[in-house]
Amino acid sequence: MSLLALKGASFSFHPSNSTPDNNFPFPSTSFPVSTIKCSPFSQKSCRNGNWVSLRIRFLAKSDTNSKQQLPRETLAPSTDGSSSSSTATSFLSVLCPLLKLFSGGDPSQERNYVLEAATSSLSTFARLPWGSRSLLESFDKSETTSDSFKHLQLFEFETCPFCRRVREALTELDLSAEVYPCPKGSVRHREMVRNFGGKEQFPFLVDPNTGISMYESGDIVKYLFQQYGKGRSPSMGLLESTLFTGWVPTILRAGRGMTKWERARPDPPSEKLELFSFENNQYARIVREALCELELPYILQNVGAGSHRTNLLLELSGSQEVPFLVDPNTGARIGSYKNILAYLFTTYSAAAI
């Protein structure tokens, strides 16, 4: 359970037989009602910059083959005229093996922390000023801090520059999110995205508060600012700089947070871990990489400068320093990134089962 008592719907998708329907752009999928856990999605999607209603198809099968209805939202294709995410996916498929050759090897082994801090600090410098502070400190945040507000759900992987763009926007809007890491070799979260969205592309956002689900980082950022920005618009730098400096952390960090660790525990913990972080913090980045390599879902509590969560972090840790990890499964509360790394790779390795 989240320390902020904000509890979003989680997913548990199981593919089943389905009947094709040519009226929809993505393959239809049946979901066993007895196993699915998700919020009821509304009839909305993005088209030409406007949020419009779409037709809903009802397809469901229970474990006992009884007919029950479950709404499934149809996603409209991105209309921003950009194929940057698809291009990035193709480029990453080539870059990933190359970066792995230069990476530090087994992420659970002893590291050169001087080098780790140096490359992550350079990555932070490359992405200044984005993802470091809340832009909404002077606005009323009652909407996103109320008990009825559900966490956004983000499917991504740490090394992807377009996923980074969305995380930067989350920091600037002071939004928390459930993060479902999708590293190469993912055994759970990538299948969830394929089953729900129809294709394996990242980032993928689900907002259970409005029923919106969408691909394309640029569309996601614009949506987040439109919905939660209190009248603000994303800066041109946030949207455009990714193509120029967004790749710097990916290259400098030699692909950390890109591939699932081969000795990671196969099953997720019963409760999500909770990480206090902000996107452009050099030490929090290293922890998020580890969470991705372990494919551990977690609640991202953004605490950029001006965040309303600063007092909560101070109460929990006695400090405003990030990263700070809370593990409700073991009761652990850890502040140093080095200690967090040691804890994660010890506790969530297959050998620890």
- pLDDT at position 152 over 60: yes
Q: Which residues neighbour 346 within 8 Å (Cβ) at sequence distance 6 or greater?
A: 352
- pLDDT at position 59 over 60: no
285 lies in some domain:
yes
Over residues 236-246, mean pLDDT: 87
* Least confident residue range of 3-7, 36-40, 46-50: 36-40
39 lies in some domain:
no
Residue 18 near residue 28 (C-beta atoms within 8 A): yes
112 lies in some domain:
yes
92 lies in some domain:
no
80 lies in some domain:
no
* Least confident residue range of 57-66, 185-194, 199-208, 322-331: 57-66
22 lies in some domain:
no
Name the percent of the chain lying above pLDDT 70: 68
Cα angle value 304/235/280 (rounded, 5°): 30
* Least confident residue range of 8-12, 117-121, 213-217, 329-333: 8-12
Residue 7 near residue 151 (C-beta atoms within 8 A): yes
- pLDDT at position 13 over 90: no
Over residues 321-342, mean pLDDT: 98
Total number of domains constituting the chain:
1
Write the CATH number for 297: 3.40.30.10
Domain that holds residue 300: 104-135+149-348
* Least confident residue range of 53-67, 192-206, 241-255: 53-67
Radius of gyration of the chain (CA): 20
Give pTM, 2 decimals: 0.75
What's residue 353's pLDDT?
Answer: 72
* Least confident residue range of 143-152, 194-203, 223-232, 245-254: 143-152
What would the 3-class secondary structure string for the chain be? CCCCCCCCCCCCCCCECCCCCCCCCCCCCEEECCCCCCCCCCCCEEECCEEECCCCEECEECCCCCCCCCEECCCCCCCCCCCHHHHHHHHHHHHHHHHHHHCCCCCCCCCCHHHHHHHHHHHHHHCCCCCCECCCCCCCCHHHHCCCCCCEEEEECCCCHHHHHHHHHHHHCCCCEEEEECCECCCCHHHHHHHHHCCCCCCEEEECCCCEEECCHHHHHHHHHHHHCCCCCCCHHHHHCHHHHCHHHHHHCCCCCCECCCCECCCCCCCCEEEEECCCCHHHHHHHHHHHHCCCCEEEEECCECCCCHHHHHHHHCCCCCCEEEECCCCEEECCHHHHHHHHHHHCEHHHC
186 lies in some domain:
yes
What's residue 11's pLDDT?
Answer: 38
Q: Residue 96 corresponds to which tokens in the numbers above?
A: 């990933």
232 lies in some domain:
yes
